[in-house]
Chains A and B, each alone.
Chain A
Amino acid sequence: MANETYSATSGSGARAGIWAPIVTINGVDQTARIVGEIRIDAEEGAARVADLTIRPPAGTVFSIAGWVGKSITIQIADVSSGSPSDLRTLFSGVIDTPSLDLDLRVIALRCSDNYQNAVEAMSAAAIDAATPGGYHSPAVFDAAAGGWMRLQDRLSTMPAACELTTGGSLRVTAWAPKVSPDMEFTAAHLLDGSLAVSLASRHQLVNRVDVAFSYRFPRVKAEGYGLSYNYVDDSTIAQFVLDGNRFLRRDAVEAAIKAAGATIEAISFTDLPNTAIGTWAPNPDADYLLCMGFSAVVSFDYAQMIEEAHAITVRAQNSISAVGDLRESIAGALEGVYPPVVAAEQSILLYANAISGIPPTDTATPLQGFTTAAEVSLTSETNRAAANVAMETLIQVAKVRIHGAHRRNLVTARVPLNPAVDLDQTIDLNVAGLHARGKCFAVSHTMAPESGEAVTELSIAICSVAGTGVTHPETPTTAPTGSTPGSTALASSASADFNYGPTEDHKLTVTFPGVADVERDKALIAIATTYEAPLTEDVLEVTL
């Protein structure tokens, strides 16, 4: 590979490197007025920051407006030929904070690449487009969060880092190193004694995240009761009449059922005989209003609150095996938006009994002998799909937390300033006793024109816990399967009683059992699932 060195600082062949910085402020080359060291720092997820000091001409009148927010670029050039060539941009941004030293008459400039502001100006759609593969749920994150916060929300679901390039473009780089490194440094490249390893502490690791997610919503239900009742028949009707008993009116049957709060799904009546039987003689003008009994299918509608309690464990099992359980927990909740249960029940009842012409939003289909249930139409932000997205987002957050916690091992080295070293690079360090490969986590370029020293300090993040070669299989991020509406057989049956005797009150009473508590009370459904979080085992081989 050729990009491990930059000829301006590493030289070419036997020739030593000759370099020069070029600092342009507000479009004007101010290189000659820069004093002391120029330092540029970049780190994953943060703004690129530059520090330098300028000595303005004597008598210059300082004004804040003349400095704050002015554009600044810092370049390095190869001047071995006598004129600048092979210019590389190390920093492009704006002056953030000028600091005055009145004794030395210099201005220290702290400059930023304006990362946060640039992101803050982006629309949510643009941020989503810039972070493909990220998750977002208004049930998990602040739905109103935009700009910088939205980007952080998206990134918390992605094993990736985001920052600006030196050209000012948003760049997202996966944490996982590329299969083939972009740069391979050996002892020939590194400055003597610059190699250092910083290992993460066990207490910084997270290898198990317990996600508690509650999802509450109503379901509509229907009971389907069959009710058959006969109080007289052809063989007994003659004596029935002789005894002075009363006949049952058909309209009274329907009225009694409705008075019980039921909805008649179907009803048929047992006709009185149409021929004379003993002392009984039919009366076609009146008998059609009466019956010897009836058979009806009726329904009752109500609703029930369902609360799914998802206990989702996201873990890296091989990490747990290696270092023990290191836990975190996060919790989420979503409640389905729907009219109050009582209002929904009344809507169904009023419509079913033709009291209201406004159809209910949802009803369950009754089935004789069973209690049936049906899902209701929730808002798009609170329905099952939204709950699934919320859970997937939380699972992904947990996976990323676990992955992020495992890549806090840093290997740091210094090389002659190399503009090609950047945060998107996969860097391989291979010297006697150490071989490491990982994504660049931080880089600092330092130029000291007075001493001629130009150095790049780079840190690579190493994800490692169980050892090189150990794999950490991943369970795909798919929401746990939720509950579904079911049907249960009715435990009791309905009854009817008609007081037809001549001295009785001639009332028909229909009785339907009460609703079992388990069908009506809030149903708490516990659902436990486990997901394996993926980790990479980056190369880290050290021989002492």
Chain B
Amino acid sequence: MTTQQPPAGQGLVESLDRMTTGAGIGSLQSRRLSPAPTLPSIPARVGTVFAGQPATTP
């Protein structure tokens, strides 16, 4: 098994990067909406009830 060593001086480079760069890198990320749920269509609405009553006399 071999172990990869970082190149000589890499630590120093990273240190310098940390001090001098990072400017201008914000948290802006492109975003998009997830698909919207499809709502059911609404067909004709019908109401039916028994409604008849015979004429009455006193």
Residues of chain A having any CB pair with chain B under 8 Å: 41, 43-47, 49, 96-97, 99, 110, 112, 115-116, 139-142, 145, 148-149, 152-153, 155-156, 214, 216, 241, 244, 246-249, 252-253, 255-262, 280-281, 283-287, 289-290, 300, 302-305, 307, 330-333, 335, 341-342, 397, 498-500, 505-515, 517, 520-522
Contact = CB atoms under 8 A, between A and B. Distances in A.
A512 B30 contact: no
Contacts of A45: 23-24
Contacts of B33: 214, 216, 307, 333, 335
A506 B48 CA distance: 10
B48 A508 contact: yes
Contact of A49 (B19, B29, B46): B19
B4 to A, nearest CB: 23
Contacts of A500: 52
Interface of B: 12, 15-16, 18-33, 36-39, 41-58
B46 A141 contact: no
A300 B47 CA distance: 13
Contacts of B43: 514
Given A246-B52, A499-B52, A332 B23 contact: no
Given A307-B33, A331-B31, A499-B52, A47 B20 contact: yes
Chain A interface SS verdict (over half): mixed
A522 B52 contact: no
Nearest to B23: A45
Nearest to B31: A333
A515 B48 contact: no
19 contacts: A47-B19, A110-B19, A116-B19, A145-B26, A153-B26, A155-B26, A248-B51, A256-B47, A256-B51, A259-B49, A260-B45, A261-B47, A286-B56, A332-B31, A333-B33, A511-B44, A512-B45, A513-B44, A521-B41
Given A247-B54, A522-B38, 12 more contacts: A41-B20, A49-B16, A49-B20, A216-B36, A252-B50, A256-B47, A281-B57, A300-B42, A507-B49, A510-B46, A511-B45, A511-B46
Contacts of A252: 49-51
B57 to A, nearest CB: 5
B46 to A, nearest CB: 5
B36 A259 contact: no
A46 B44 CA distance: 66
Interface centre among B15, B28, B44 (most CB of A within 10 A): B28
A341 B39 contact: yes
A508 B16 contact: no
B50 A507 contact: yes
B15 A140 contact: no
A252 B24 CA distance: 71
A149 B22 CA distance: 9
B54 A246 contact: yes
Contacts of B22: 46, 116, 148, 152
A357 B16 CA distance: 65
Contacts of B20: 41, 43, 46-47, 49
Contact of B27 (A149, A302, A514): A149
Contacts of A44: 23
Contacts of B42: 300, 302, 514-515, 520
Contact of B51 (A253, A280, A303, A520): A253
Given A116-B22, A512-B44, A248 B52 contact: yes
Contact of B28 (A140, A255, A307, A505): A140
B16 to A, nearest CB: 7
A149 B51 contact: no
A510 B47 contact: yes
B55 A520 contact: no
A317 to B, nearest CB: 25
A314 B37 CA distance: 32
A300 B50 CA distance: 23
A501 to B, nearest CB: 9
Contact of A110 (B16, B24, B38, B58): B16
Nearest to B32: A333
A521 B45 CA distance: 18
Nearest to A500: B52
A277 to B, nearest CB: 12
Contacts of B57: 281, 283
Given A44-B23, A47-B20, A97-B12, A256 B49 contact: yes
A43 to B, nearest CB: 7
B49 A156 contact: no
B51 A498 contact: yes
A43 B19 CA distance: 11
